[in-house]
């Protein structure tokens, strides 16, 4: 009960601080971009630390991902965002596991225990599927910590599951930012921009494709 109370206070405090305190004024593209540019060689490390901490504090990942792609470009931005997202996901999972797992296990009871056991047995596949269908990132990080899923299965499933979406989004934002910065609007018709737009449009259909494949496999098995 004490640990669960601490977890509840942490979640509420994080949301209130991010949304209603002066910290909110710092969570803008202009301020964060200026801070990272002033960091010089330390900018990648600073970005990774800010991003990973932001995941644990319920800061919207879309803002930080777009910022990373805009500042570091489509390729380095993808690398830094992926590493930061993995660190943040691991941190949030461990917070949920240490502070909330015992309380969650006590609430589950016998009726839901079979589902908890199933998640433990199929942890990697469960996490991978939920990541591919874009289940809310931060909510899933803490939520999975409350289940019996093994940490290594969670980490592997997360790493592979967010790989495609992270690359598509950072490549899209980074490419558009490069065209904007160069001022060469004719490059909007280049293959790179067209490819990034195509990838971004494709990413919107990934959840439907995954669900279709899941249904097809189920029908085939029956």
pLDDT in tens, 129-167: 888 877 888 889 988 988 889 999 999 999 998 988 888
Enumerate residues 6+ apart whose C-beta is below 8 A from 125: 157
Quote the crossing angle between the two packed helices 61-121 and 29-39, to the nearest 10°: 90
Average pLDDT, the chain: 80
Q: What are the backbone angles phi and psi of residue 137, rounded to the nearest 5°?
A: -60, -55
Enumerate residues 6+ apart whose C-beta is below 8 A from 30: none
Quote the crossing angle between the two packed helices 43-56 and 137-145, to the nearest 10°: 70
Quick count: other Cβ atoms within 10 Å of Cβ 65? Answer: 24
How is residue 89 written in tokens?
A: 């996901």
pLDDT at 84 over 60: yes
Quick count: other Cβ atoms within 10 Å of Cβ 34? Answer: 11
Helix (H, G, I), strand (E, B) or coil at 162: coil
Predicted local distance difference test score (pLDDT) of residue 51: 92
């Amino acid at each position: 009960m004490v640990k669960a109370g601490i977890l509840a206070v942490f979640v509420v405090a994080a949301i209130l601080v991010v949304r209603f305190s002066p910290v909110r004024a710092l969570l803008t593209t202009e301020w964060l971009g200026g801070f990272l540019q002033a960091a010089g060689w330390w900018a990648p490390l600073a970005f990774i630390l800010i991003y990973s901490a932001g995941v644990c504090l319920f800061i919207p990942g879309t803002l930080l991902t777009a910022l990373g792609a805009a500042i570091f470009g489509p390729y380095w931005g993808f690398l830094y965002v992926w590493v930061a997202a993995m660190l943040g996901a691991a941190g949030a999972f461990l917070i949920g596991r240490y502070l909330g797992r015992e309380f969650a296990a006590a609430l589950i009871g016998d009726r839901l225990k079979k589902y908890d056991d199933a998640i433990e047995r199929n942890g990697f596949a469960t996490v991978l599927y939920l990541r591919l269908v874009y289940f809310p990132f931060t909510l899933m990080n803490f939520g999975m910590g409350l289940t019996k899923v093994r940490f290594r299965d969670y980490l592997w499933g997360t790493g592979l599951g967010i790989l495609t979406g992270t690359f598509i989004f950072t490549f899209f934002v980074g490419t558009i930012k490069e065209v904007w910065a160069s001022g060469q609007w004719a490059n909007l018709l280049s293959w790179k921009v067209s490819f990034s737009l195509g990838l971004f449009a494709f990413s919107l259909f990934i959840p439907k494709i995954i669900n279709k494949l899941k249904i097809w496999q189920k029908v085939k098995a029956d």
